[in-house]
Amino acid sequence: MSERQLVAGNIAVAMGALAAGCRHYFGYPITPQSDIPAYMSAELRKLGGTFIQAESEIASINMLLGASACGFRAMTSSSSPGISLKQEGISYMAGSELPGLIVNICRSGPGLGGIDASQADYFQSVKTGGHGGYRTIVVAPASVQEMYDLTILSFDLSDRYRMPALLLADSLVGQMKEALELKPYTLPSDLPAKEWAVTGKLWRSDQRIVKSLYLGEGELEQHNWKLWRRAEELKEKEQRSEGKYLDDAKLIVTGFGSAARIAKTAVEMAREAGMQVGFLRPITLFPFPEKAFAEATVSCKQLLCVELSTGQMVEDVRLSVARDAEVAFYGRPPGTGSLPTPEELFAQIQKHYGKGA
């Protein structure tokens, strides 16, 4: 029987990472993710793992690069400005085909902004934060349970597709406490062996080289096509979303993470009021669940996208729906006192409901 505990979302990330076999953590203090390094510093040294509070975000992402190059599951966590600093390293990891988990418990911005729940890092996460054109896996938990489950999934996908994984959440999901079921984890038996990892040559005569520099004729183009093929395979096989009340929906409300939680309450309010309103929540932001949106908009032509920003994911929703579907947007840019209430979103549902009929 699996164990249940009452924990905060940030702690669930740390517990999920340990369950997935991550024994190397590198980070730098920043609110609102500080529970993660605090937990890891206590646990990892007990387990004989590595915990380093690095001198900078830049150093911590490069320590992650080093540990990952050795073939080990490793992670860092930070928050928006810190994630900006890590982008160089994320690009190098992507170019070097290295897995690894980067957790972003977002702050509001731009600049120093504030520490309120925010989803304004969607573009940075999904559309590539660093230079050179690459993709990373991006998951968006909406509950403490998902903070744990998607941390584990991120390690598995990251190893399978040899690309960094980003977990995108905010202080709302990171700091609230909910019951967490600690499901036992077993490493998927079909994960490929890390035959690229540096170990020292040991018994081998061939070298292993982890690098992203390709100067030979045609090499870099081929390398980029290889990375692209992997991202395409990820898009084909790994889209995840949660849908509810989609069969008879006349309006579908969508959003991710904390915004989706509030939206879901508003959808339930609408259902109680006898309105045929559906709910569709992307769980993976890259790959974006475009199949689910295409399928849902065969019959339902009206959508409302809710975000804690001025509108970012809505662009991907518009690209994914049926051509004749209309996507309305309601957002609140992050800041103190700007979190929408379920009643506020229910009013938006009432505003748009029946328009497309």
- Would you count residue 92 as binding another protein (CB under 8 A)? yes
Stretch that binds another protein, among 106-114, 138-146, 193-201, 324-332 (CB under 8 A): 193-201
- CA triplet 168, 169, 170: central angle to 5 degrees? 140
| Using rule CB under 8 A, residue 344 touches another protein | no
> Residues with Cβ < 8 Å from 62, sequence gap 6 or more?
89, 92
- Asked if residue 64 binds another protein (CB under 8 A), the reply is yes
CA 47/CA 22 separation, integer angstroms: 11
- Within 10 angstroms of residue 311's Cβ, the number of other Cβ atoms is 17
Q: CA-CA distance, 46 to 23, in Å (whole number)?
A: 11
**Using rule CB under 8 A, residue 59 touches another protein:** yes
Of 50-58, 154-162, 176-184, 299-307: span binding another protein (CB under 8 A): 50-58
Identify the helix (H) or strand (E) that includes residue 352: helix 342-352
74: contact with another protein by CB under 8 A: yes
- What is the nearest approach in angstroms of another protein to the Cβ of residue 70? 4
Cα 218 from Cα 231, distance rounded (Å): 20
- For residues 2 and 207, which CB has a smaller minimum distance to another protein in the complex? 207
Return all residues near 133 (Cβ < 8 A) that are at least 6 apart.
224
203 binds another protein per the rule CB under 8 A: yes
Query: What are the C-alpha distances in Å from 162 to residues 221, 271, 352?
Result: 18, 43, 42
How far apart are the C-alpha atoms of 339 and 344, rounded to whole Å? Answer: 10
- Least distance (Å) from another protein to the CB of residue 168? 23
45 belongs to the binding site for another protein (CB under 8 A): no
What torsion do the CA atoms of 62, 162, 32, 348 make, to the nearest 10 degrees? 140
Residue selected from 19, 34, 43, 70 as contacting another protein according to rule CB under 8 A: 70
Q: Of the candidates 45, 127, 177, 201, which one interacts with another protein according to CB under 8 A?
A: 201
Q: How many residues lie near another protein (CB under 8 A)?
A: 39
Kindly calculate the radius of gyration of the chain based on its CA atoms and give it in whole angstroms: 21
Among the residue ranges 121-129, 136-144, 165-173, 203-211, the one whose residues contact another protein (CB under 8 A): 203-211
Note whether 87 binds another protein by CB under 8 A: no
- 207 scored as a contact of another protein (CB under 8 A): yes
Answer yes or no whether residue 26 interacts with another protein by CB under 8 A. Answer: yes
Q: Which is nearer to another protein, 92 or 256 (CB)?
A: 92
Selection from 289, 14, 281 nearest residue 126 by Cα: 289
The binder of another protein chosen from 198, 220, 246, 322 (CB under 8 A): 198
| C-alpha–C-alpha distance, residues 143 and 127, integer Å | 24
Among 67, 138, 172, 249, binds another protein (CB under 8 A): 67
Nearest to residue 257, comparing CAs of 354, 148, 119, 157? 119
What DSSP designation does 237 have?
A: H
Point out which span in 111-119, 187-195, 198-206, 345-353 binds another protein (CB under 8 A).
198-206
Binding site for another protein (CB under 8 A): 24, 26, 50, 52, 54-56, 58-60, 62-70, 72, 74, 88-89, 92, 96, 198-204, 207-213
